[in-house]
Chain A
């Protein structure tokens, strides 16, 4: 089984360390993983702005590039949801290449939890540990479109896959938020289009995390974290951000806040 790594455009350019952590993590778990170099973006910015004609060629290109692989893994809930839940507009219902890509594109946490069903995390025989106070930021698309966990609105019982994976890491001390799954206000082009509301949402989100006593916000979606980190650095808030892949890959807490 060959797995293709899908690295969203902004991760490729601004957060290569998250993509490297994802790659290492998968390799360490024995997955045969490659990065197809022709890839760029899933087309989400265009689709969410309503520019379907501009999105269509990007979506088709994506399917062409990734169709040859058994599975596609992406360290971002929102981009995964784009492919799985929003690509139908651009393909015929019986397009086999599309159907294959749609069914076999996974968020990293989904892939580890559902496909690999990992039960432990070790690096060279040692347990991965992260001795910090941690709060979880759940990305809305991961939560409500991929159902990586139960949303607070729904009265359904569901495993929280991200949290379960984080529980494989030793010495994590959880800090609970007053609003467990409120949106951070990023929303792609929403952050620019509705800049005031977006920033207000983000500041409230950071305040909830800081108020919980957490040292680091961990999330399965770097796009939320990019937005929150921008606010944290502007306001010099006493908290860091990390992608869950970095924690699972055994990375140390890095002071992103230091200027």
Chain B
């Protein structure tokens, strides 16, 4: 994927949204997931209560994060795990590489983890001569295609089954033109089995870590994390420091919300608990990664974004995401939450993302942990304005609008000019390429007088 220096979402989205096959199909596929989510959510009478509870637990955790992290480290260490701390992506990658080097490892199996994606672990390890195999099916597909995931839960949702067939034909030797999902899945399974057996170290992400017990939970639908963590003797678990919950019993709240919100399943197929290394011959390493999270924690406007449990529901529901595709965001995490998080890393690079939003608020209502996503996107727009990152035409047009709206007479006059010119000018003069509104839409037909004019004549 071509990385632009500054993300221009409208331009990056254009090929996808204007493709008459791609965008409607992508929209329907994700709406189907959203509908399954609705069915599951409505089957839980206490759904809204669970959302509030989850949000409160997260608020309390983030407020006392330092304490909970220390508690987690103490308990995890007591169970025999080795806990590492990484301030940023670079340190995270170095720690992982060191563990691999200590074990003279050349092949690893990795289950899906957005954190390692965020840290750019794959390219880093590959550059250091290590063979990395992503074992999640969707993740493996995009890996074979040298792409990045376009969705945090459904990494290959942007691809049609025919395209997956082509990729497998090229890399795994499946029949040309084969697009039967069952056949392709079997082929992938066979291919991955060999990789699992050859893997020397397993890397997984973490869905929830429990301060009280020092253990953690990994949720998958394919069981790949279990295999990846069980076959090799070394398991490295990489987690963002916000993944903590205080007590074991809190888990239930989040597990009920996660799968329902993500895919419309009552629970993920595999919810694996890891408490310390498997046996005396095995090692368990846990890497706790900050990478900007402490900074986000300082911010009143955006702190709640740390509640995110990466369910992807906000992407599935977002009408912009559904039509523009995940890659148009040019970010590890796309969609509403990605558009909140990306500018916290580099506001100038990602300044167009908070504007890739109609402020419909569907993400806010769907989010299982009640992050006020669309309010945060609006807050980002202000922040971008304050940082003087707004484009010239936005700044000028809004300055002029402001002047206009400060005087009823000026406003009324400008309105008259607008209506009059719409009336007298030929269609081509008002509907052309430079007037973005009129590329796809007609302008309103001008009425003969404004309401204020009518009112002055009829009601006094």
User: Which A residues are within 8 Å of any B CB, using their own CB?
Assistant: 7, 9, 11-17, 19-20, 23, 35, 37-41, 43, 45-55, 57-58, 61, 86, 89, 140-141, 143-145, 151-156, 179, 181-183, 185-204, 226-227, 229-231, 233-234
Contacts and interface: CB of A to CB of B under 8 A. Distances in A.
Contact of B358 (A156, A190, A204): A190
14 contacts: A12-B415, A14-B447, A35-B452, A40-B406, A46-B398, A51-B395, A55-B402, A61-B405, A153-B366, A187-B359, A194-B320, A197-B356, A230-B437, A231-B441
A48 B374 CA distance: 11
A140 B359 contact: yes
Contact of A46 (B386, B401, B452): B401
B408 to A, nearest CB: 5
Given A48-B381, A153-B362, A179-B31, 8 more contacts: A23-B459, A35-B455, A46-B402, A48-B359, A153-B365, A183-B358, A197-B320, A230-B443
A201 B323 contact: yes
Interface of B: 9-10, 13-14, 17-18, 23-24, 27, 31, 38, 41-42, 44, 47-48, 317, 319-320, 323-324, 354-362, 364-366, 378, 380-386, 390, 394-395, 398-399, 401-402, 404-408, 411, 415, 418-419, 436-437, 439-444, 446-447, 449-456, 459
Nearest to B354: A50
Given A190-B355, A195-B440, A35 B459 contact: yes
B451 A200 contact: no
A144 B362 contact: yes
B406 A12 contact: no
Given A40-B411, A230-B441, A183 B10 contact: no
A63 to B, nearest CB: 13
A194 B9 contact: yes
Given A49-B390, A233-B442, A61 B415 contact: no
The 4 A-B residue pairs whose C-beta atoms are closest, nearest first, are: A187-B358, A230-B441, A50-B381, A50-B385
Helix, strand, loop or mixed for chain A's interface? helix
A190 B441 contact: no
A144 B441 CA distance: 26
Nearest to A85: B375
A179 B47 CA distance: 21
Contact of B399 (A54, A61, A144, A227): A54
Contacts of B356: 194, 197
Nearest to B44: A155
A35 B446 CA distance: 22
Helix, strand, loop or mixed for chain B's interface? helix
A58 B449 contact: no
Given A16-B450, A156-B48, A196-B13, A229 B411 contact: no
Contacts of B441: 199, 202, 227, 230-231, 233-234
Given A156-B48, A201-B323, A230-B441, A195 B10 contact: yes
Given A140-B358, A140-B360, A144-B361, A38 B447 contact: no
B326 to A, nearest CB: 14
A19 B450 CA distance: 10
Nearest to A13: B415
Contact of B360 (A35, A48, A183): A183
A133 to B, nearest CB: 24
A115 B393 CA distance: 42
A54 B381 contact: no
A191 B320 CA distance: 12
Contacts of B10: 193-197
Contacts of B446: 14
Given A200-B323, A227-B441, A230-B442, A48 B378 contact: yes
B359 to A, nearest CB: 6
Contacts of B47: 155
A232 B443 CA distance: 11
Contact of A16 (B42, B407, B449): B449
Nearest to A45: B401
A204 B419 CA distance: 29
A7 B380 CA distance: 29
Contacts of A185: 319, 358
Given A48-B378, A201-B319, A15 B456 contact: no
Nearest to A153: B365
A151 B324 contact: no
B18 A50 contact: no
B402 A197 contact: no
A190 B359 contact: yes
Contact of B361 (A16, A140, A200): A140
Nearest to B408: A38
A25 B328 CA distance: 46
A190 B324 CA distance: 14
Nearest to B383: A50
Given A199-B441, A230-B443, A182 B319 contact: yes
A45 B398 contact: yes
Nearest to B407: A40
A182, A186, A188 interface centre (most CB from chain B within 10 Å): A182
B324 to A, nearest CB: 5
